[in-house]
């Protein structure tokens, strides 16, 4: 039997009538919900539209930084030493990147990267990733033309140093974020950096800017810094130092050139050095600005200060005789000696011949406190506060701990350590009329501040005459002479300390100034571990001084103060300074 079919329209359920109150309840609920929606819509769109606006802006609006251009670094004449050049960085949102294998290989080839490294970065579980930074605009344009999906670019800056390794230690360098890491770049980072600006933009879901809404803060560009350096003098110092390092097969070296009148640093060179434009294989030894961060025992370059103090205290006069025979002197259980027995010498000849015995006797005629006060007033034992990163102050122990033998050896530069910049600064006392002015890294557009008087003008002039004698025949540094100019200076040769004891290694130095009649420049030279058969300051460092000083004086147009005639060296070897 077939089941009897029932049409839906004739279903018995449909004949049942609902209670009237249920119909009205449903209608009221629907109307209430409709009114609530209308009220909410009116509230959000008419009275509290900030909410929807904020939500919309949160999805599409972004505040992005506008990089400030880093200030330039120039020399005293305006020649550019460091400048920021525009570059671009390639970045991506990994989840948006959809590169075919061939596209990934093409991108890797353009970026000079391994394709596996590119895929690893693009596959990272991050919202943002740099693929490669600081590309040239030309290469970035080639990548942009390929229109790889999800690959974006960002404008940045990279620092460029036209002088390369010649000024590396003074200028330093910046990091990937264009912030100073070494040298002047770090010391003056706040002035050079400026302040980044910001602007509000609308971006699409792929991070592309589709509309520039407004500028919030314009960027504050970095300030330019004019250094006291003279590019031509710097190149002279660097090239002659490099030549000396190679000729003497030395480990390292440094040269400082100061303007004796203003205290400005016209040149500061060190070797070994590095190229700040290419630092892929940079090591720590190359980074060290040895003239400011390495201290050493200065040797005989300190003898003029001992003589100056003895003159200042009235212990001796310029021509006071001092007996240095028999060339040896015992103090307590220790014995000091001269390389050659000189016999009777005047104070001036003690400096000219560089006698350890004469210097020690001068020192022992004074109290340790008097010597310590002099060394301290010259700037030894504490950094010069140039604001340069890593500057050290050397070592100057308190006077109360000195033993007689230590006081005697400090007279000729042992038992005390200094930096090359400190030596150059201290020799201002002789190049000037006994006073010291602060050293400046930046160009000075006004007169230098008043100097600190260390010695009387008369004492300074007398020691200046002694230093002239040291450069003449019969002195320790005839190789420091310069045709057409009177030169004054002092050699130094000291054993290096390794493991707490003196090793058979040397530091050769020379500090001097010219023209001696009216000093304009001070040049200090240090050669570390010369190993080509010569190690005395008169043989190794004095010739560097002569070349740098001669070129610098002519570059600055300083008039000669002596007849232009052949230099007198004498056929005999120069007197060796004592060690």
Q: How do 452-453 and 488-498 pair as beta strands?
A: unpaired
Sort strands 321-323 and 344-346 into parallel, antiparallel or unpaired: antiparallel
Of residues 491, 473, 388, 427, the one with CA closest to residue 171: 388
SS3 115: helix
- What is the DSSP code string of 246-271? HHHT-SEEEEEEEETTT-BEEEEEEE
474 contacts 558 by C-beta, under 8 angstroms: no
Catalytic positions are 300
Chain Cα centroid distance, residue 183:
1
Burial class of residue 205 (count of CB atoms within 10 Å of its CB; 0-12, 13-18, 19+)? exposed
Closest CA relative to residue 420, chosen from 495, 487, 503, 511 = 511
Going by C-beta distance under 8 Å and a sequence separation of 6 or more, which residues neighbour residue 476?
300, 352, 353, 354, 470, 490, 491, 536, 537, 538, 574, 575, 576, 577
Q: Beta-carbon neighbour count of residue 202 at 10 Å?
A: 16
Q: Which residue has the tokens 């070129």?
A: 551
The helix (run of H) or strand (run of E) holding residue 328 is strand 328-331
- How many residues comprise the chain? 579
List, in order, residues 6 or more apart from 357 with CB less than 8 Å away: 324, 327, 328, 329, 336, 337, 338, 342
Q: For residue 306, which of 366, 394, 369, 376 has the smallest C-alpha distance?
A: 366
Q: Which long-range contacts (CB under 8 A, 24 or more apart) does 154-157 make?
A: 154/88, 154/89, 154/91, 155/67, 155/86, 155/87, 155/88, 156/67, 156/86, 156/87, 156/88, 156/89, 157/67, 157/69, 157/70, 157/84, 157/85, 157/86, 157/87
Which residue matches tokens 């919202």? 127
């Amino acid at each position: 039997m077939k089941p009897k079919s029932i049409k839906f329209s004739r279903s018995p359920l449909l004949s049942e009538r609902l209670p009237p109150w249920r119909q009205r309840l449903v209608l009221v609920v629907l109307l209430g919900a409709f009114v609530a929606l209308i009220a909410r819509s009116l509230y959000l769109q008419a009275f509290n539209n900030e909410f929807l606006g904020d939500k919309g802006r949160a999805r599409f609006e972004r505040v992005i930084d506008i990089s400030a251009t880093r200030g330039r670094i120039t020399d005293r004449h305006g020649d550019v030493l460091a400048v920021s050049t525009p570059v671009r960085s390639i970045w991506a949102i990994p989840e948006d990147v959809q590169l075919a294998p061939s596209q990934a290989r093409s991108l890797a080839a353009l970026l000079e990267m391994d394709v596996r490294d590119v895929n690893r970065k693009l596959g990272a579980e991050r919202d943002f990733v740099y693929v490669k930074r600081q590309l040239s605009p030309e290469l970035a344009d080639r990548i942009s033309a390929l229109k790889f999906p999800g690959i974006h670019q960002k404008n940045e800056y990279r620092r460029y140093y036209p002088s390369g390794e010649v000024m590396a230690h003074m200028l330093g360098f910046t990091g990937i974020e264009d912030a100073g890491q070494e040298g002047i770049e770090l010391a003056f980072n706040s002035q050079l950096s400026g302040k980044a600006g910001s602007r509000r933009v609308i971006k699409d879901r792929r991070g592309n800017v589709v509309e520039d809404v407004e500028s919030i803060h314009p960027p504050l560009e970095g300030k330019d810094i004019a250094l006291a350096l003279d590019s031509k003098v710097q190149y002279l110092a660097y090239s002659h130092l490099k030549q000396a390092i190679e000729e003497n097969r030395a480990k390292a070296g440094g040269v400082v050139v100061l303007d004796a009148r203003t205290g400005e640093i016209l040149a500061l060179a060190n070797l070994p050095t590095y190229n700040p434009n290419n630092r892929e294989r940079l090591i720590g030894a190359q980074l060290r600005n040895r003239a400011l961060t390495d201290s050493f025992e200065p040797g005989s370059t300190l003898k003029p200060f001992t003589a100056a103090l003895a003159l200042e205290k009235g212990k001796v006069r310029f021509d006071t005789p001092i007996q240095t025979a028999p060339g040896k002197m015992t103090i307590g259980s220790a014995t000091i000696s001269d390389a050659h027995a000189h016999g009777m010498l005047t104070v001036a000849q003690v400096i000219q011949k560089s006698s350890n015995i004469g210097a020690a006797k001068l020192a022992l005629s004074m109290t340790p406190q008097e010597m310590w006060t002099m060394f301290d007033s010259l700037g030894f034992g504490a950094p010069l506060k140039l604001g340069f990163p890593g500057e050290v102050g050397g070592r100057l122990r308190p006077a109360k701990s000195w033993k007689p033998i230590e006081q005697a050896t400090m007279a000729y530069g042992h038992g005390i350590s200094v930096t090359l910049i400190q030596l150059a600064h201290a020799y201002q006392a002789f190049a000037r009329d006994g006073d010291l002015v602060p050293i400046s890294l930046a160009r000075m557009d006004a007169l230098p501040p008043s100097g600190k008087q260390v010695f009387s003008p008369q004492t300074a002039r007398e020691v200046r005459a002694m230093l002239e004698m040291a450069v003449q025949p019969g002195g320790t540094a005839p190789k420091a002479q310069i045709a057409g100019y009177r030169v004054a200076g002092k050699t130094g040769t000291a054993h290096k300390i390794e493991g707490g004891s003196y090793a058979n290694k040397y530091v050769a130095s020379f500090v001097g100034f010219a023209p001696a009649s009216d000093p304009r420049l001070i040049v200090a030279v240090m050669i570390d571990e010369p190993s080509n058969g010569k190690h005395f300051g008169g043989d190794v460092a004095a010739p560097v001084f002569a070349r740098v000083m001669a070129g610098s004086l002519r570059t600055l147009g300083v008039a000669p103060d002596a007849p232009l005639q052949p230099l007198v060296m004498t056929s005999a070897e120069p007197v060796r300074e004592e060690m």
